[in-house]
Amino acid sequence: MNIMKLSALLMHFMIIYMLMKTTLNLTGKELISISPVLIKNAASIASNRKEAIHGIAIAMASTINMPKKGKKLNLTISVGKYQEAKAISISGSAKINKHTDVFFGIGRTNDRKYTASKVGASFDW
């Protein structure tokens, strides 16, 4: 384990320690008994953080624009960034009839590890 990972794990442990101490009002003895569990799960917490950051970047990139008045189709390409994560998204929509639009979107992080997609419909009346 390199020094960067170790310092990140220590930082996460300290944040969790402070949150538990202030939110749950635990005593030092109670925190010491919980500490091994926190240390055991620190890598999982760091992994969840990375996934969340990439998910937020994809969400920032994901934009759906409905076709403008008089048009039938719309295609949008957009990018997003959150902390160190970057993503790109391609989305499209089509007017099916006067009251119905359908849309899709797919986003992917720049490191190509995470992908998200969506499909839906919009109804007006």
DSSP-assigned beta bridge partners for residue 24: none
**Which of the residues in the chain have pLDDT under 50?**
none
Q: Tens of pLDDT along 54-85?
A: 888 888 888 888 888 888 999 999 999 888 88
Reported residue count of the chain is 125
CATH number of the structural domain spanning residue 33: 3.30.1300.30
Which residue stretches of the chain are H helix?
Answer: 3-23, 28-61
Q: What is the pLDDT of residue 2?
A: 61
Distance, in Å, from the CA atom of 83 to the CA atom of 80, rounded to the nearest integer, reads 10
| Whole-prediction pTM | 0.58
Range of the domain at 22: 1-125
Longest Cα separation, the chain? 68
Question: Chain-wide mean pLDDT for the chain?
Answer: 79
Number of domains in the chain: 1
